[in-house]
């Protein structure tokens, strides 16, 4: 409160309540359009959202609707011939078009990170998982060998692998799909990023393991203030975690809003279809729970 406003205000009997300003977005997309230069066509026709610490934005939609391209644009890893033709992307307040390759290398992992489907393909089959995790820590955090080893065991514990010491010494082929995805999540959060993009990260897993991984992401969000982007073709996955949801179809965002409102009162036929598809999977129960919250 400035002295001048203090003078004009009536006397208070209790101290003024602290007003917390809304947190600044760590990731902001504004009308992002992505074009395939090879085919000279626009594939993603305008995606906008803001993500603040500890929050989760979900992107749901059918195959080929542009979910992964949107994520890859935010990570600065669009495939060759693709470019953000219009709109803007800001990571922690920095417009990504101003980033040099060296600055991108610094940001990836430390500010923005990602996990995708098919974790095995991101690990080297001939190197023990602990050593691969330790390598991330040496490169991104500048840790020495011993520290990196200790920290990598801690990370394996943080992603709730039951025997982190044992897993540390194992090769990727010795682990189940769910365990591998936990290892990948450990690698993605190793350098304490502020944003984690999970693109179909649980799609290849069976339902029980999928639920465990979603719980893990929610726990990490609570404990570290991580901001999440969760991508799935499965509305139930997005519904479980997200504050806000974007429904995409053919490169368009056909519906967007607070998850609860979209689930309760879907405006677009395609969203209704997605909801109908999931009624048998217990989305109804989830909707009821959200409304009680």
Chain contacts with ligand ATP (rule: CB under 6 A): 43, 61, 63-69, 79, 200, 233
Stretch that binds Mg ion, among 39-47, 61-69, 127-135, 254-262 (CB under 5 A): 61-69
- Report what 35 binds from ligand ATP, Mg ion, none; CB cut-off 5-8 Å by kind: none
Q: Which of Mg ion, ligand ATP, none binds 181 (CB below 5-8 Å, type-dependent)?
A: none
Specify the residue, 68 or 181, whose C-beta has the smaller distance to Mg ion: 68
Q: Which does 132 bind (CB under 5 to 8 A by kind): Mg ion, ligand ATP, none?
A: none
Segment 129 to 158, residues that bind Mg ion, using CB under 5 A:
none
- Residue with Cβ nearer ligand ATP (5 or 63): 63
**Minimum distance from residue 70 beta carbon to Mg ion (Å):** 9
Rounded Cα–Cα distance for residues 290 and 188 (Å): 29
* Binding site partner of 65, from ligand ATP, Mg ion, none, Cβ cut-off 5-8 A by kind: ligand ATP
Choose the one of ligand ATP, Mg ion, none that binds residue 79, judging by a C-beta under 5 to 8 angstroms depending on kind: ligand ATP
CB nearer Mg ion, residue 68 or residue 240 = 68
Output the CA–CA distances (angstroms, integers) from residue 276 to 93, 235, 272, 280, in the order listed. 39, 10, 6, 8
- For residues 37 and 289, which CB has a smaller minimum distance to ligand ATP in the complex? 37
- Residue 182 binds which one of ligand ATP, Mg ion, none, with CB within 5 to 8 A depending on kind? none
Q: Cβ closer to ligand ATP: 38 or 127?
A: 38
Q: Is 68 in the site for Mg ion (CB under 5 A)?
A: yes
Q: How far is the CB of 154 from Mg ion (least distance, A)?
A: 31
Which of 175, 184 has the CB closer to ligand ATP? 184
Binding site for Mg ion (CB under 5 A): 67-68
């Amino acid at each position: 409160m400035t002295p001048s406003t203090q003078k004009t205000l009536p006397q208070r009997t209790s101290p003024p309540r602290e007003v917390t300003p809304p947190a600044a977005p760590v990731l902001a997309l504004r009308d992002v359009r992505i074009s395939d230069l090879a085919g000279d066509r626009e594939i993603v026709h305008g995606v906008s959202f803001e993500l603040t610490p500890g929050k989760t934005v979900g992107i749901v939609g059918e195959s080929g609707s542009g979910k992964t391209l949107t994520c890859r644009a935010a990570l600065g890893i669009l495939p060759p011939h693709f470019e953000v033709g219009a709109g803007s992307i800001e990571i922690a307040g920095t417009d990504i078009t101003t980033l040099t390759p060296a600055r991108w290398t610094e940001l990836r992992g430390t500010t923005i990170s990602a996990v995708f489907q098919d974790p095995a393909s991101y690990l080297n089959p001939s190197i023990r998982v602990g050593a691969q995790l330790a390598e991330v820590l040496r490169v991104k955090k500048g840790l020495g060998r011993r520290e990196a080893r200790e920290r990598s065991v801690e990370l394996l514990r943080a992603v709730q692998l039951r025997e982190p010491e044992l897993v540390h010494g194992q090769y990727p082929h010795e682990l189940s799909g769910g365990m591998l995805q936990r290892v990948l999540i450990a690698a993605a959060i190793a350098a304490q990023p502020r944003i984690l993009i999970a693109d179909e990260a649980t799609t290849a897993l069976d339902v029980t393991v999928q639920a465990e991984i979603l719980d893990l992401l929610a726990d990490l969000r609570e404990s570290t203030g991580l901001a999440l982007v969760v991508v799935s073709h499965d509305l139930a996955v997005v519904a479980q975690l997200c504050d806000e949801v974007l429904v995409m179809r053919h490169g368009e965002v056909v519906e967007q809003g607070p998850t609860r409102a979209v689930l309760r009162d879907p405006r677009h036929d395609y969203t209704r279809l997605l909801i109908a598809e999931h009624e048998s999977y217990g989305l109804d129960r989830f909707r009821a729970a959200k409304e009680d919250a």
